[in-house]
Amino acid sequence: MKYLVYFQMDVKNKTVLVKIIFLFILLYSSQNLLSQTSIKEYDQELKTYGFNDPNPIPIFISNDKIYPYFSFDGYNISSSDKKFKVIELENDHIKVLVTPELGGKVWGAIEKSTGEEFIYKNEVVKFRNISMRGPWTSGGIEFNFGIIGHHPSTATPVDYVFKKNDDGSVSCFVGNIDLPSRTQWRVEIKVDEGKASFITDALWYNPSPTSQSYYNWMTAAAPAKADLDFYTPGDMYLEHNGNVKSWPIDNEGRDLSKYKNNDFGPSKSYHIVGEYNDFFGGYYHDSNYGFGHWGSYEDIPGQKLWLWSQSRAGGIWEDLLTDDDGQYIEFQAGRLFVQYSPTEDQNPISNVSFEPYRVDKWKEAWFPLKQTGGLTDASEFGALNTIRNNDSITIKLNPFIKTNSLLKVFVEGEIYHEEVINLSPMDVYSSKIFLDESKDFNINIDELEISYNSEKLKNIDRSFSTDEVSKSQNTEQKLFQQAKEDIAYREYNNAIEKLNRIVAEDSYNLEARSLLGELYFKMGKFDLGLDIVKKGLKLDTYHASLNYVAGIIYKELSDNLNSKEALGWAARSINYRSNAYSQIADIFLREKNYEKALAYAKKSLEYNTNNIPSLEIIVICNRYLKNKEEHKLAIQNIEKIDPIHHIISFEEFLSSTNEDNKIKIINSHQSELSYQTYLELAISYYNRGLVDEAINILDIGPDELINNIWKAYLKDDKKGLEDILTNSKIDFSFPFRRESIKILSWARDLHPNWKLDYLLSLNLWGKGRHKESQVLLSRIGEKSNNPIFYLIRGLMLEKLDVDPINDFKKAYTLNNKNWRISRALSNYYFDSKKYNLSNNILKKAFNNDKTNYIIGMDYVKTLVKLESYSSAISVLDNLYILPYEHAGEGRELYTNAYFGLAIKKIISGNYKEAIEILDKSKVWPENLGVGKPYNPDERIQDYLIFYCKENLGDSSSKKYLSDIIKYSKGNINNNSATHILGYEAIKIIQGEQASELFINELVSKHKLDSDEIKFIVDYKRKSLPKNYKNFDLLRKILHLK
């Protein structure tokens, strides 16, 4: 009837109706607009505790796995406000923040209906010394690629772009190059319209011709609270060395899946394994919200929980890394089972390699939980929790998308219950279904891709232990496996030594020959590598790996014919086919045969559609062939896969050379070390014979010494080279690429200069060619007036067991105010037992800057050696140490100073004063960078207090021995020389027989493989040999009797 009334309205009323309808349409449209996603970039001012003092010493002195990066040594105790770029991605349900200037990490994520963070968002930027290069900030999601640890770009700018997609979603892409491996990583952070989870799509590819190390973990953070339970499928966890432990119930009966039950021992790393599942997460039962992660098992089998110790040993890091946001935990997702750090232990876990030209892509989802009470299954579209009661099951669900789907419950294969659920994102569905507790059940929600089985049939049949027989075997294949692991762990010289042993014993081990040839290629020893593989090809002319390595070496030597021939045979193997065709295309491009280059590049895509180098070749060939549309389309094809690729803006510039396109190139290189990404792009053109393009990109890029030497080479500019060397400093120039060896050698031949000798020596050292590097360094003599050069040369030669004293003295003469130089010289004297000389240098350096806790700690060390214990304690009282993760030096210096002073008092008979000093030594002043752990080892203090009280005739003395015995027996699994005091205490309290049993148990558990146990056994034999210099303090204590 209403419609009839409307039709009978007069014109005036019709006009009103039209206006109402129009207003309704506008309102409806605006509602739709409000429901859409948004993305924006802005500068946000954040309270920042910055980092500074970049270290000019090549990082291979301390960690050769991440050369050519450099570290930082300065960290601010006080804060200042600093602006950071933030990319904000948002829809009706979630808000995600990305910080491209902080490693590209997701800074935080918020579920909007509750305001809760399902990715921990730190309100301050508090850099502390935790990553491989030092600076690191807590919170968010950190993207780690390359080799174990927090990646080298974690605290510095990376490349990024952001956009709104055609489907209404929004994306921010972040990425960078991992310089040591020259692999490229990208992560797309994507928020879809009407979806309460967000996606990270990862892309990682190896465009180099050799295998590289393989490591990826996405490290997310969440608040640490007592009501937090972890829902991490599995029945075991792996330690970093691959050893297996029980999960979630440990051997003490503790349920480790409850955060509050981890209130023991040090910080925890749980790599949980054993179940074929796609999700894990956590839930706060008091607050009734949680967080989770989803990723296909075949893509992301790794699930790790990292928990700081709940003692002050971990609590101190809450203060170091945050202001008011509280402690956090990390839930980490990885491409492998474990973040593997090899030890002597043998198990199935190993380091693996990233094959040449391989492209890996995978998707992960991160989601909130609300009022579900926990988590039993999840997908990227929803999360389910089931609660089993005596006579029923309670089903709770959060969909992440709008859904109108069927929820089915199956019992014994038959539908037991079904209902239509019509829900919006982050609605809370809850239903109670009566079911006998003896019955198993399945729950399926097809639209949300959720399928839960109460029988838990997902345990995998995989062993994480190696049998004892296999462990005891020493075979050639075992040695070969170890060599492969060395390569994957960037222990190249160790691998070469093993492979040479294998080849010497069995010339027919062609796989070992192939790996050896590849390693020599990596090192730039092309003739040696070619000789190795050619001998193998005399034994098997069709061997795919040997032909491949021969092909890439011939290619590097510009022997195009033999390279194409060898790579053609390698292409017979599916393992090398796409890669080999792509490299043959490179050679045809080098020969300016663009049609053939294009054909081979397309051929390679038949076997790897994401072969990035082949896509690059297609772009370049179409430009040379003047196929404008195909050139544009080829660029778009790369952009679809890798929108950050620097070839995109550069090729667009080459096709339309103007200032706007030039600015686009500059804006695309946004990372901290952008000169490296310019050079990487230039070398990719140079390797294809495209010198003009290489010059062009370097001309646009920044003014850096190594880039300018490359430009001089490409332009054959002899005069320019001379000017470059005259006007450029060597500081922070760290050449590392195999191609740069040739360029630096050319420059040296053309214009002998100590700077070129030095740069080439760094490049060779970075490739493991230490002896050649030494020759170049020695040739320089004293031609330089740069004090840092002498410091670096001294440190490099010291690693080769060459006495560095002359270099350290020279550096100190040129600049005695540089703390690194002072430290190197003082450490030399300290190691030479010239403690007074060391002390004099450090005293001066410390007085120059009393905030330098690195110098301060070294200074205290000399004071302890000089038995100036009171002075050492005075310095420590006023020293503020910002530690690195797991650091303990500050505490060790503190106890050494107090122990030394106490022993002095004991020797002089001042037992009461000694007891007071020993009691103070049990205090844990946190200005020294270490918090008090659970159950600290106080056996030295207790033994000395016992000794003092015995001499004072105090009957309470035996209590301290009882404490020593309790600690020693409770921690007998720890390999510690201090167990000697447990032995002494047992002997005094319980007698010789009991002490003998204790020693036997120690030896049974630890064998006689360590100095600690040998020291204890030797002491028992009354010999106490003097070569145990690490146990001087224990020797002094034992001699007191």
* Domain residue limits, the chain: 2-34, 36-369, 474-556, 937-1041
pLDDT at 237 over 70: yes
The mean-pLDDT minimum among 27-41, 560-574, 771-785, 1017-1031 falls in 27-41
pLDDT digits (tens, 9 = 90+) for 996-1006: 999 999 999 98
* Sequence letter at residue 901: L
Query: Alpha-carbon distance 602 to 459, whole Å?
Result: 43
Query: Alpha-carbon distance 1013 to 1007, whole Å?
Result: 7
pLDDT band at 1028 (very low <50, low <70, confident <90, very high): low
Burial class (CB in 10 A: 0-12, 13-18, 19+), 847: exposed
Tokens of 925: 């002043």
pLDDT digits (tens, 9 = 90+) for 787-802: 999 999 999 999 999 9
The torsion angle over the Cα atoms of residues 645, 646, 647 and 649, rounded to 10 degrees, is: 110
Other CB atoms within 10 Å distance of the CB of residue 123 = 13
The three-class DSSP label of residue 518 is helix
pLDDT at 971 over 60: yes
pLDDT at 308 over 60: yes
Instruction: Report how far Cα 1017 is from the mean position of its chain's Cα atoms.
Output: 40
Query: Alpha-carbon distance 738 to 478, whole Å?
Result: 30
What is the per-residue pLDDT for 164? 97
The torsion angle over the Cα atoms of residues 672, 678, 684 and 689, rounded to 10 degrees, is: -160
The mean-pLDDT minimum among 3-12, 453-462, 709-718, 813-822 falls in 3-12
DSSP calls for 129-182 = ETSSSSEE--SSEEEEESSSSS-TTTTS--EEEEEE-TTS-EEEEEEEEETTTT
* Residue of higher predicted confidence among 222 and 22: 222
Other CB atoms within 10 Å distance of the CB of residue 926 = 17
What is the per-residue pLDDT for 1026? 62
- Can you give the C-alpha Rg of the chain in angstroms? 33
DSSP β-ladder status, 124-126 and 38-49 = parallel
Query: Alpha-carbon distance 873 to 1013, whole Å?
Result: 32
pLDDT at 580 over 50: yes
pLDDT band at 1031 (very low <50, low <70, confident <90, very high): confident
Closest C-alpha to 697, from 742, 730, 662: 662
Residue with tokens 């195009």: 560
pLDDT at 6 over 50: no
pLDDT digits (tens, 9 = 90+) for 423-457: 999 999 999 999 998 999 999 999 999 999 998 77
What is the per-residue pLDDT for 623? 98
Query: Alpha-carbon distance 526 to 517, whole Å?
Result: 8
* Sequence letter at residue 165: N
Closest C-alpha to 103, from 136, 72, 125: 136
- How large is the average pLDDT for residues 207-223? 97
What is the per-residue pLDDT for 1008? 84
pLDDT band at 33 (very low <50, low <70, confident <90, very high): very low
Closest C-alpha to 587, from 576, 575, 601, 577: 601
Helices 577-590, 560-570: inter-axial angle, 10-degree rounding: 160
Other CB atoms within 10 Å distance of the CB of residue 90 = 18
Tokens of 650: 């550069």
Tokens of 854: 């690195």
Number of residues that this document lists for the chain? 1041
Other CB atoms within 10 Å distance of the CB of residue 361 = 13
The three-class DSSP label of residue 321 is helix
Residue 106 host element (H or E): strand 105-111
Is the CB of residue 168 less than 8 Å from the CB of residue 36? yes
Other CB atoms within 10 Å distance of the CB of residue 1026 = 8
pLDDT at 27 over 80: no
pLDDT at 907 over 80: yes
What are the phi and psi torsion angles at 971 (to 5°)? -120, 30
pLDDT at 35 over 90: no
**Which residues on adjacent β-strands are paired with residue 365?**
199, 294
pLDDT at 230 over 60: yes
With DSSP H G I counted as helix, E B as strand and the rest as coil, what are the percentages for the chain, rounded to 5? 45, 20, 35
* Residue of higher predicted confidence among 1021 and 27: 1021
Q: Which residues contact 668 (CB under 8 A, 6 or more apart)?
A: 159, 644, 646, 648, 649
What is the per-residue pLDDT for 1010? 86
Other CB atoms within 10 Å distance of the CB of residue 760 = 22
pLDDT band at 885 (very low <50, low <70, confident <90, very high): confident
Query: Alpha-carbon distance 733 to 68, whole Å?
Result: 9
pLDDT digits (tens, 9 = 90+) for 91-133: 999 999 999 999 999 999 999 999 999 999 999 999 999 999 9
pLDDT at 709 over 50: yes
pLDDT digits (tens, 9 = 90+) for 364-408: 999 999 999 999 999 999 999 999 998 999 999 999 999 999 999
The dotted CATH code for 36-369 is 2.70.98.10
Q: Which residues contact 995 (CB under 8 A, 6 or more apart)?
A: 983, 984, 986, 987
Percent of the chain, pLDDT > 70? 96
pLDDT digits (tens, 9 = 90+) for 517-568: 999 999 999 999 999 999 999 999 999 999 999 999 999 999 999 999 999 9
Angle at 615 between CA 610 and CA 620, to 5 degrees: 175
- How large is the average pLDDT for residues 319-323? 96
pLDDT at 223 over 60: yes
The torsion angle over the Cα atoms of residues 1010, 1012, 1016 and 1019, rounded to 10 degrees, is: 100
Q: Where are the alpha helices (DSSP H) in 377-467?
A: none
Tokens of 291: 């967080």
What is the per-residue pLDDT for 339? 95
Query: Alpha-carbon distance 198 to 366, whole Å?
Result: 6
Give the chain's mean pLDDT: 94
What is the per-residue pLDDT for 5? 27
What are the phi and psi torsion angles at 557 (to 5°)? -85, 5
Query: Alpha-carbon distance 107 to 95, whole Å?
Result: 11
- How large is the average pLDDT for residues 893-915? 96
What is the per-residue pLDDT for 1027? 65
Tokens of 284: 């706060």
**Which residues on adjacent β-strands are paired with residue 394?**
387, 432
Query: Alpha-carbon distance 957 to 784, whole Å?
Result: 64
Closest C-alpha to 272, from 322, 231, 311, 313: 231
C-alpha distance from residue 420 to each of 369, 382, 407, 445 (Å): 22, 16, 6, 10
- How large is the average pLDDT for residues 806-823? 98
Closest C-alpha to 204, from 194, 195, 214, 196: 214
DSSP 8-state class, residue 37 = -
The mean-pLDDT minimum among 201-210, 327-336, 1030-1039 falls in 1030-1039
pLDDT band at 22 (very low <50, low <70, confident <90, very high): very low
Closest C-alpha to 434, from 388, 399, 495: 388
Which fold is adopted by the domain 474-556? 1.25.40
The three-class DSSP label of residue 229 is strand
What is the per-residue pLDDT for 1023? 65
DSSP 8-state class, residue 974 = S
